[in-house]
Structure 1
């Protein structure tokens, strides 16, 4: 059995790290009433988001209805699976259901057509607690972000991971010293799932682990690409460089981008030497895709790695290696596109026109009308900072207005809570659960 599942935390007390996030979740759950905002848990993979949601549901005695990326997440699918669960109680009316929507930042493309809109509608009508999970908060649709309370899960410190690895070794009967466990924990880069997976891989067929055995099991993608780029800039032997290149999980086009992003470490003359090699590698990659001949990839990798190493002349690494700048620009472009799509949808629905008509005939007029005082339209349409900035062209002013309106909405919701609780206290109590019924009986049908 996979150790990550065998040793998944079952209770809140079993969770590792992110104490602030967990306390925020517990407080939300204990005080939850219909109409409260859902939570959106976000952070790197392996930081405990999904485990925390299930542990919380278990301690609150809530049933869980989960929708994740493995499901078809069209509007119809979301309404069929999660929609009814969000507005009705458990099968016997004695508890709540936690509607869990995993990978909420992957709602795009034709497979998820209408999914984001369906989730917004679900949030508006939910009479049960809802939790969304995402790796990147800003990849989540803006209309979802503005209706949820964000809870950040940060990368776990190695010192927090080691005790859990020690416990697993004890349970599995594997001898391992703390220094070896520390190496595994540090190699995981804050990812508990990765650390446990590496430990299990190293322990196959062994009753004791040492540094050599765990090092051969390490296969962390980001750690390896950093090692490769560092070796290239230090001009290590060709055999060592190519050996590292074959171990990297990244494809050649990603390796080229990492190397291009590292050229700022080199003197100007060395950069001039490196660019022809990267350009040649890029052409080989283009031919690979054009001809569907993937044997060319090995040449692209060799051109990029060895060519950049020759140009570097052993200059070395002088500052922290960071992901390729173009990745950040691409993320910003996706964020702007998502904001533009959301803005056009909100404006079109409000004005009763299609997006094409809005873009061709009305958009510039709307911009002129709201230029002096954009706050009313921001309040009416619940625009976030990115959406409002597209109308005003002033990002700083838009952020200030959107932040103030979001704060007003949160305060209004808090003021409504006592009224809702008072109304609910007057409702008749739910009938008791029939004796002998299984607690974990399916509640979907």
Structure 2
């Protein structure tokens, strides 16, 4: 039995949330004793309708019974093979080292504007995206470098884009917050809160339409929509949950709840901080998972993605994670309690994966160090490539502004103004 919006179970028991300023922010989140999902017997729709309206317990869909059955039948207690473990480790190290290099380059003046780093959240990107096919779609946010890398966009292209160079994945016109790659079906990073969710919903609709209406063979693409906790109070979020559930679109809504929206605590900004509850409210599964554990994320991601690919509709997954740096590299990060930051630093997802690999004899220290060295060399090459790459030509400035050159106007000679070399050079008289 797979995840289904009709197979609700009672929610996991968690202590009542608090927004009091005299208590630690993380008191009701991971790091407490309530870190495991509980599987309870499903209740039927009639039981849900007859439940007391005054009840404060909202139903939640847990990880499917299929996952549990697979575990029971498995002859091994291992969650991953050695090969899978090394792939996960390499992808997470690539993300972490890349962001550390970005910080160096930013402070050396190689990058401009706002740069938002992903340190600490690698388990979410790796856990989800590594279950996708190349044809599947990813829609990101302004914290998008690592999503691009996990999807397969070469480090050279991502670094060059951050440098504003013509060899970047958007030819230097996107920058840090707008990574895009048609080749790898990365549909963009989006700077405005919630802006990417309708795009992701449209991509999922396109997949369903091509499969069910146009009858295109193999049109089973799944879309992942990544966004943060601060987005979950915005209108686009609710509108798209409704459309996705109504049309059973092949999409997974992935909430990267790092507990802070710039400098606003999630607990102060949301009446009910348990975002996963909003999934069942729209008739789709809602799951809460430890976003600092790549193996737990991976387990949920596998079932949600396969469910979408089977045509069973969307899933809302809340990954509780934490960013180790400030909101951006321009943020002095003085608002968060040092004890809170130390608490989550002790739950580093890369350290946790390394421990699992060592404890289960899936990798040696030498093997992981070899991966570290490989990634360091890759990033040195990416920086050198980006630094030596040319800046975009001035003529590129007017590209991708209008779908039809007529929209820009016709000059006195009857030709499109955008075709006038003097205009693109900034010397034409208009």
The structure number with the bigger radius of gyration is 1
Query: Which structure carries more helix by proportion?
Result: 1
Q: Provide the TM-score with structure 2 as the length reference.
A: 0.25
Q: Provide the TM-score with structure 1 as the length reference.
A: 0.24
